Homo-oligomer: A and B are copies of this chain.
């Protein structure tokens, strides 16, 4: 009946393959970039041969797009749910959103996708376009609403909203990107918690509407 219940080991594997391949692909893409990633390696890490990979994804580029898509969508869904159900001051909302993003994306291997897009956007204009429309625009909407709520309530100063969105998200993105670029080469820095605390401290003080 249920197409998702496996009736044999073979079927069970088949169901698991795409997710396993995507996970392996994310690892390699994030670590080495698109061009330097070998599909033989990705397949091997997922426990299959390269031929099998091509049963599930039509090309390297298709695989790349699938990684981007499936990685980031669930996070935005949760973010939007969070915004709706929040009650209380905008200050707490903003802080909660940034911290939650760090938990869900920045601190996990999903954070690698940010670095991946920055690195490869030039080589994949259509993926970049897609990412912009479905990820960045949606993400910025979340922050915009939090900001507007604070300004409307007189809690925040009337800063330029569009640029403020980018300005306040930049440090979080940079922290994430750092983990996947220079940090692994022994160029480490102090812990993310201190960094985030300082960022929020500066940001909320900077936004505060002084009496």
- A-side residues, CB < 8 A to B, are 31-33, 35-36, 115, 117-123, 125, 128-129, 131-132, 136, 157, 159-160, 162-164, 166-168, 170-171, 173-175, 177, 180-182, 184-187, 189-190, 194-195, 197-199, 201-208, 210
Contact = CB atoms under 8 A, between A and B. Distances in A.
A211 to B, nearest CB: 10
A181 B210 CA distance: 37
A117 B170 contact: no
A94 B91 CA distance: 27
A174 B120 CA distance: 15
Copies in the complex: 2
B180 A174 contact: no
A120 B187 CA distance: 14
A95 to B, nearest CB: 14
B198 A122 contact: no
B202 A164 contact: yes
A163 B198 contact: yes
B123 A32 contact: yes
Contacts of A180: 122
